[in-house]
């Protein structure tokens, strides 16, 4: 599988997806299933980092898959999802999907950054706002 999912901290409050060059939609489905199982083992909020910083392209059929992702039921303990990508193409595709399927997309809190460090800062700020 070319998308690895792991806990990013000991508290199991941050889930990290590492995308590798050559990932495909089956990898994405498998990673989502694995993440769902992992999140079901905890009863607190889980934020997500989707690290696409090492890939510049996404597989064909992206808009249909983005629609599927937005329309999938959100687990109750999912907090902020931060997509890390320096690729303006990937960001544009997800932004377009957000506009097209706005109603379904509203259930998700998604942000974009260009570095992992920015993702961690954004999640800290999000957690502070939610707990403060």
**Torsion 122-124-130-132 (CA) sign:** negative
The pLDDT, as a whole number, for residue 101 is: 60
Are residues 51 and 116 in contact, defined by beta-carbon separation less than 8 angstroms?
A: yes
pTM assigned to the model? 0.84
Residue 6 pairs in a beta bridge with 16
Q: Which helix (H) or strand (E) holds 119?
A: helix 116-131
pLDDT at 70: 67
Beta bridge partners of 112: 83
Mean pLDDT over residues 94-112, rounded?
A: 70
**Per-residue model confidence (pLDDT) at position 33:** 92
75: pLDDT strictly greater than 70: yes
Across 86-94, average pLDDT: 78
Rg (CA), the chain: 14
CB 81 within 8 A of CB 48: yes
Q: Which residue has the tokens 């379904």?
A: 104
What are the residues facing 15 on neighbouring strands? Answer: 7, 48
* pLDDT greater than 60 at residue 105: no
List helix spans (H) across 24-109. Answer: 25-39, 62-71, 88-100, 102-105
pLDDT per position as a tens digit, 46-73: 999 999 999 877 888 776 777 777 677 7
Span 87-113, average pLDDT: 73
pLDDT level of residue 89 (50, 70, 90 thresholds): confident
Question: Quick check: helix, strand or coil at residue 17?
Answer: strand
Distance CA 5, CA 15 (A): 7
């Amino acid at each position: 599988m070319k998308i690895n999912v792991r806990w990013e901290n000991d508290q199991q409050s941050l889930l990290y997806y590492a995308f590798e060059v050559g990932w495909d939609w089956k990898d994405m489905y498998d990673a989502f299933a694995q993440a769902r199982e992992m999140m079901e083992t905890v009863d607190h909020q889980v934020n997500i980092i989707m690290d696409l910083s090492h890939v510049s392209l996404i597989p064909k059929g992206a808009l249909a898959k983005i629609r599927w992702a937005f329309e999938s039921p959100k687990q109750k303990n999912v907090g902020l999802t931060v997509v890390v990508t320096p690729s303006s193409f990937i960001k544009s595709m997800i932004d377009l999907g957000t506009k097209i399927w706005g109603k379904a997309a509203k259930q998700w809190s998604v942000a974009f950054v260009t570095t992992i460090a920015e993702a961690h800062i954004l999640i800290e700020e999000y957690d502070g706002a939610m707990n403060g």
